[in-house]
Amino acid sequence: MLGWAVMFLIIALIAAVFGFFGIVSTAVGIAKILFFVFLIMSILSFIFGKRSSV
């Protein structure tokens, strides 16, 4: 998921260079959403994934 966020960020940067500002705002919004979803999922994985199997 982090890879998708980085990909949309790169798309946004390339679109900004060429002047497509409508695409930039959409791509940045998607990248932000995907980054925060990745962040929440990774935190939950660290919290609930460290259960010991004794």
Give the pLDDT mean for 21-32: 85
Q: Is residue 54 part of a domain?
A: no
Q: Is 52 helix (H, G, I), strand (E, B) or coil?
A: coil
DSSP letter assigned to residue 19: T
Q: Is residue 18 part of a domain?
A: yes
Q: Is residue 17 part of a domain?
A: yes
Q: Is residue 53 part of a domain?
A: no
In the prediction, which pLDDT does 36 show?
A: 92
Give residue 4's pLDDT band: very low, low, confident or very high (50, 70, 90).
Answer: confident
Would the CA dihedral through 21, 8, 42, 44 be positive or negative?
positive
Side chain identity, residue 46? F
Neighbours of 10 (CB within 10 A): 12
Give the pLDDT mean for 20-32: 85
Q: Is residue 24 part of a domain?
A: yes
Radius of gyration in angstroms for the set of CA atoms belonging to the chain, rounded to a whole number? 16
In the prediction, which pLDDT does 53 show?
A: 60
Task: Report the domain count for the chain.
Answer: 1
Mean pLDDT (the chain) is 83
**Domain around 21:** 2-48
The tokens describing 5, both together, are 């966020």
